[in-house]
Every structure is written in C-alpha cells, then in structure tokens.
Chain A
Amino acid sequence: MAVWTRTRGRMMADPGLVVAFAAVGALLVLFVLYPAVRVLAHPRLADYLAVPQNLRWVQAARNSLVMMLLSTLTATGIGFLYALATSRRDLPLRRLFQTLSILPLFAPPFMVAFSYILMFGRQGLVTKTLLGLDVNIFGWQGLWLVQTVAFFPFAALIISGVLEQVSPTLEYAARNLGATESAVMRTILFPLARPGVAGAALVVAISVLADFGNAVVIAGGYPLLATEAWFRIEGLADLNGAAVVVALLIVPTFALFVLERYWVAQRVYTAVSGKGTRIEQPATPPPIKWLLFAACAVVAILVALVYVGVLAGSVASVWGYKWGPTLAHWRLGLAQGGAQLLTSVKIGALSALLTSAVAVVAAFIATRETLPLRRAVDFLAVLPAALPGVFIGVGYLLAFNAPPLILAGTAWILVLALSFWHIPFGYQAARAQLKQIEPSIEEAAQDLGASGLRVLWDIYLPLLRPAFMASFIVAFIRAVTNLSIVVFLVTPRNLVATYSILAMIGGGFWGAAAALTTALLAITLVSVGLARLLLGVGLRPIGGA
C-alpha cells in the first residue's frame, strides 16, 4: 500500500508522462490485445472441441508441424554454416555473401516461391530449358526448398550476431593450450554458438508456421493452417472456421515465442572480459576456408536465382517457350497494378510512421521505473511478433467489422493492422538504442529542471532518431510487401500491389506478376539504399528482430 501511494505520488508529479503512458497503453490494448482476444473468443467451445473431427484441419495442423520441422532444420543448418563462414574475416567474397544473405529479408514474402516456380517448375528455366527435366515443384517438397532459402537468412543473422561476440582471443587461448584447428571448432566455437542456434531455430520455426505467401503460391493444394484460414474466408466466407484455424496456429507459435524470448534469449553467453586488446582473428586453415566458401557459394547462387528469376520473368516473351525480350508484361503490369503500387506506398508510409512513433514512445515508457504496468506495455509491444499475419488479419476482420469501432472496408484498417503488427521491430530497435544511452544524461537533464516528457523530447528523441528511422524503413518495407494481412483486409476500393500480384500469379499472368514484383522490389531496395544513406549503416542490426 505504501509502495503504491509513493508510486502514485511520483506519477502525479509528472502528468505529461502519465498521459503519454495512458495513450500508448490504450492504443496497444485496442489494436493488439483486442483483436487477439476477439479471435480466440469468437468460436464457441463446441467449435474448438469439434476440431479433431475435422479431418482437413487435422491434416493441415499435421502438415504445418511437419513443414515447421523440415524447414527449420534445413534453414537453421544452412544459416549456421553461412554464419560460421562469414564470421571468418579471411573468407573470400565475405562482404558479398553477407549482403546476399540479407537481401531476402526485404523481399516480398512470396517472391522466393514465385521465382522458384519460374526457375525450377515445369516450365522452369533451369529444370526444363537448361536441364530438360520435367519437374513438379508444387507441393511440400517445393515449399521445403523455398522456405529453406527464404528463412535461412534469419538464422544466419542471429547466429552471426552470437559468433561475432566470440572474442578471437578465445581461439588463441585454446590454440595456446594445445588445441588443434578442429578441436577449436569442436570445443569453443560450436558450444558458444549453441544458444544462438537454438534462438535462430525458434525464430525460423515461427516464421515457417506463419508463412502464408510462399505456401499459397507454391503449395496451394497442400493443406496448411496459415493458408487454410484464408481459403475459409475467400471461398466460403467462413469467419468462424478461419478463427478456429488461426487459433490452432497460435498455439505452437506462441509457445515457441515464449521459449525464445524468456528462455533462450537469456542464455546467450556474454564474453567475460574487461577492456581488451583488439586482436585479429587467427587465419582460417585453407581446407576449412575453401569448404566454407563452397557452401556459401551454393547458397548464394540459390539466393541470386530468386532475383534473376523474377527479373527475367518480367521481360521474357512467353516463359518456357519464347525467351525473346519484351516490355509487354511491364505495360500490362503497370496498367493493371500501377495505381495499386501507389496505394501500397501510401499505406506503407503511413503505417510505418505510426509504427515508429508508437514504438519509440512505448520503448521510452517501458524504461520508466516509476510507472506501474510498464511490464504490460513491454509485453504488448513485443506480442505481435508472436502473432502470424493471418492471425492479425482475421483478428482485425472480427474486431473492426462491428461496433465500437467500424473500420472494415477503409484503408485505415490496413494501415492500423500493418502498423501494430510491426511494432516489435521498432520497439526492439528503440530499446536497444535506449540501452546505449547513459542514465546520467537523463539525470543531468532532470537535475537542470526537465520533466519526464521534456526529457523524452529534449534528450531521448534526438538520440533515438536513428532507431526511429531504422524502424520506419523496416516497417515500410514489410508493409509494402505484406501479403498475409492484406489478403484479409483489402477491398476493391483499396487494392494493394501484393494482392494484385497474387491474383496475377493465380491467373497465369506470370510476366505481369514478375514485372510488378520487380517494381515492388525496386521500391524496397531504394528504401534500403536511402536508409544506408540516412543512417550510415545497413539494416543488419534490426533485420533479425
């Protein structure tokens, strides 16, 4: 009681802060918690109990778990190898490999699948034209390949982060005590990377479970939870069924998320050392080096093919038959989808702005120790990372189609859904940056008479500008390329580019789809370029959040 009174006393001493806290708290409750609760509460208990009798759903759930295991295994394995290789400073073409592995993080989420159909499908450039094979890439095997390529970058990025923390001195110490090269790997590098690998596997598993874009493009006939939710609504207008399916999906996703955040993330070894000399890494022995190089090269080619496929697809006359160049697809694509491209950019920019603003203020509030419930703010700000896009999509459909707030059919429902889904990216970036700021800076400001909000405005906002901009760019790119949420929320009045591309692929207009995808890709790459220019750094630090 005494504690509460004191806390309240201190809170009331700073009304501006309390208002900001209430505003952010209300937004998070309304746009994160409320839709989630609506999804879970929508089906009746009987609907949940009837799930085991629905063979299609049982099949979808089983398939989702199988895909999760397969793709997580390969994506994490390749990610680990890739991270290990690029952590060697003397790896040839190291920078190129690093850049190539980051690129897919900013590609539209269906792009790998689409491009691999063009490259390795029945009409595939590689399979049919170059190798003369008749390959059916549609189905779980194709999805496995595609998800491996699409999600290994997450694993590589996370594991790299851990490996980079390993001081080269540890390698020297082990060598000094009699360890051979392979013993150094076995006894030092692998064990130190283990928590990173575990964390990476969990993040990849969540992404695989939630993957809608690749699954719908390459494995439409293979029942999966993420796609099933959409088929329920698209074909059958079965909102209740969709809610049940995404509720099923949330069970493993949320469990993995909790495991990652509260168990693995705490176990990463921090290097024990004071100030140390910066010493160069020992040279990698040539056989190991070239082995790693070969592995990287294979993966890099697979990544490069994703881009080659889409680009070639947009200019080849008739894919698989007539390879001569044409601009017809671009003309068709831009005529049909140019306006939607513009809508995508508008909605993306607006939502990214909202994401960054809310995220930065939420991060600031979560560090105020005088505020009660700040842990709740923290939880709500990272929660969307545990929610698959299809879950958010169904959630917004259920929550804002009826009073108190009716947004269905407007562009605002898209903006809000995308904004709040991407909050964790901005939030984590801002929290990381806040950690870098010395508490004494704030104490100095307070000492000179600044209130809580004043401290945010004068001290933290200027210092948080890089985090704000980084979060803006990432949120923008993800919003512009999003498919899993928009398929649920678009209306004929607010069509966006990704939705049109999906329709074009479905309708067999591969060239136009490729042209629009390329245009979308160009927009995201320009944004990344701008971010590099404005921030002076790449997007690596936040790409894996």
Chain B
Amino acid sequence: MPEAHVRLRGVSKHLGTHLAVDDVSLDVPEGAFVTLLGPSGCGKTTTLRMVAGFYQPDLGEIRIRERVVNDVPPHRRNTAMVFQEYALFPHMSVTENVGYGLRMRRVPRGEARRRIAQVLELVGLSGQERKFPHQLSGGQQQRVALARALIVEPEVLLLDEPLSNLDAKLRVRVRTEIRQLQERLGKTTLYVTHDQEEALAISDQIAVMHGGRILQVGGPADIYFQPASRFVADFVGLANFMEGQVVDAHHVRVDGLILTLARPIPGRGRVTLVVRPEMIRMVPAVQNVEPALQGRVTATSFLGTVTRYWVAALGGEWVVDVPAPGHEVLRGEVALLLPSDRIHVLAE
C-alpha cells in the first residue's frame, strides 16, 4: 500500500447556504491518477478547488504529504491546475503563459527558457512560442494550459474537466496523451469529470460523487461491474435492474426464473440485481433451450460496434447490446441469457 500523497479527512464545505461537499474522505496515492466523477453540482469541482486552496474547508482537513494545508494560500501550495476553460492569459504569448509560474517563482531567465522549451516539446507545441491564445486551436490551447501547469513541477496536478471544450474525436486523443504523460512523469493527479467513459478510460481510481458525498471509490472495472448502489450503476454506463428473492448463496429467484450467480450472495431476502447491456446474450425465443428471460424486441438502433435492442421483459424495459454487427436483426419474441459471473448484487 503506497503512502497517500493527498489525503482528505472528513472535509465539508458550504457555498452560501448550500452544503456543496459533505464529509468527504479520500486518499490519493503517490503517482496515482484519481478521478472525481459525478453529475454537475455533485461537489467534485469544489473538492478539487479546496485541494488547490481556492476554498478553505469548513470542517475536516486536507494533507499533502502529511502537511496540513488547510490554511496555506493557493500560491504557496504548488498544486498546479488545468482549468476547464483553460484560463490562458489572453495578453500573453504561449511562452509567457507557460513561463508565468516560473516568473512568479523568480526562476532565472536562462533556466526558465530551457524549461519552457522542454515542456513545450513535451506537449508537442514547439514552434508555437510566439503565438497568442486566440491564434491557437482548442486542442493547442488545452496543451498550453497543461504545459503551464506541468512546468512548475507541481506536487499534485489538478485537472478540472480539461477536455470538455474539445470535440469528441480530439477528446479521446488528448485524454490518451494526458494519461501517457502522467504515467511517464509519475505525477500524482486529481482529475474531475462528469463523463463516465472518460473516467473509466483514464483513471487508476475513481471516486463517484453525488450530492456532496463520495458514494464509492474503486478501480474502473470495480466501479463498472460491481457498483455499490443504484446511482453508481446508473451513472457509470447503462444498467438493467431486476428485483429478486434470494434462494441460497448462489441462487436468486426472479419472477419464477432461478438465476445462478458465480459469486456468493451476501445477505438474504429481497435484493436488486444489476446486469450490463453488453453482458446479456440474446437469441430468438424458438431456438432457446436454456432457462432464460422471455421478452419482446420493441426497438433497435445500430451503433456501429454494437446493435442496441430495447426489450420488454419482466414488466420493464431492458437494454441489450449485441456485438458483431452485420448480423441479422432480431425481431419479435427473444430469450435473454444472463451469465452467472456478470450478475451483480447491489449491497443496499
């Protein structure tokens, strides 16, 4: 277990009368990429801004490498941040923007020049030194913002929805670059996003937030396949829910059908089960011989990599993603086969 580099303990923060962050505790290990994921207004940005020092917590404490930083002003923290809107200084060239942190730290001119060249090389902006922000594309502006944060060799790198102003294709490319750069530099990073796909793709650890609280912390696969609550299951990707009655440690009865679960079921009585759309196998009802849910296809949508079906079953609507497109589209009565190792029981 690596030592926690950034540690939040019982942190709460009111913005006006609104309790924006409610008793949040989180460990960011040395060199890890941790993402705060949640819908807008969940408190993720406020949490990040407290780590940067823009807000002071009402309660609790924030430590960076064992030092309590609650009262340390932002300019003494060395927690460089990449802002959602980049916050590039419009009156400064690329060089001046990137060099700003060094200028504030009174780094000698020669060394500053060397480091600016180095970091611009790192983010692939060599040759753009004299341009001003408004002469750059969105992707380039984003890199300037990143370079400006990286150059001060921050203790912790903070990123506040840095990709939300880029178009979809570029977003995927830049996020891969950010992740590669972070791994190469081994920089402890705290990242904020509302995009679950982005969070899954980029993080070592994800903390899902809602209503100012952290609901679950875990690796991307844990969060995705073993959500701790209905909210997490629903927010992180599409999910099918069903109510069932526990029969024994490995069996649940759902509407007359006995489902087998690979992992032992904690607890007894009524439980909620979660299955991801792409984990369900679907066959025409007439060909089916195994025990399965019976349903009717109500709509289909071709998405490229998968075909998405909406199926009426168990008195509700199910979403099923079938890979290998190009196959014949199923219609009418179908059977849904649920794999025993991908049915997850919610703890609540």
Show the binding face of A for B, using Cβ within 8 Å.
Answer: 167, 169-170, 172-180, 183, 187-188, 191-192, 194, 269-277, 282
Contact = CB atoms under 8 A, between A and B. Distances in A.
A178 B89 CA distance: 14
Measured as residues with beta carbon below 8 angstroms from the partner, the interface class of chain B is 35 or more
Residue among B52, B75, B76, B79 with max Cβ neighbours from chain A (10 Å): B75
12 contacts: A172-B87, A173-B81, A173-B89, A175-B54, A175-B73, A175-B75, A176-B75, A176-B80, A177-B149, A187-B89, A272-B134, A275-B85
A277 B152 contact: no
Contact of B86 (A183, A187, A273): A273
A274 B91 contact: no
Nearest to A192: B91
Nearest to A276: B85
A297 B149 CA distance: 40
A178 B148 CA distance: 12
Contacts of A169: 83, 85, 87
A184 to B, nearest CB: 9
B85 A176 contact: no
B324 interface: no
A170 B79 contact: no
Contacts of A183: 104
B86 A177 contact: no
B138 interface: yes
Given A174-B89, A270-B134, 15 more contacts: A170-B87, A172-B52, A172-B83, A176-B75, A176-B79, A176-B81, A177-B101, A177-B104, A177-B152, A178-B75, A178-B78, A178-B101, A272-B141, A273-B87, A274-B138
A167 B148 CA distance: 18
B86 A272 contact: yes
A273 B136 CA distance: 11
Interface in B280-321: none
Interchain residue pairs A-B with the least CB separation, the first 6: A276-B85, A274-B165, A273-B85, A178-B104, A173-B87, A177-B101
A194 B89 CA distance: 14
Given A177-B148, A179-B104, A274-B138, A170 B75 contact: no
B269 interface: no
Residue among A167, A180, A187, A272 with max Cβ neighbours from chain B (10 Å): A272
A188 B89 contact: yes
A276 B89 contact: no
Interface string B88-130: 1111000000001101110000000000000000000000000
A398 B76 CA distance: 69
Given A274-B85, A274-B165, A277-B85, A177 B54 contact: no
A178 B152 contact: yes
B75 A191 contact: no
B245 interface: no
Given A177-B152, A178-B75, A275-B165, A270 B83 contact: no
Given A176-B81, A179-B75, A272 B90 contact: yes
B127 to A, nearest CB: 20
Nearest to A277: B84
A187 B75 CA distance: 15
A177 B138 contact: no
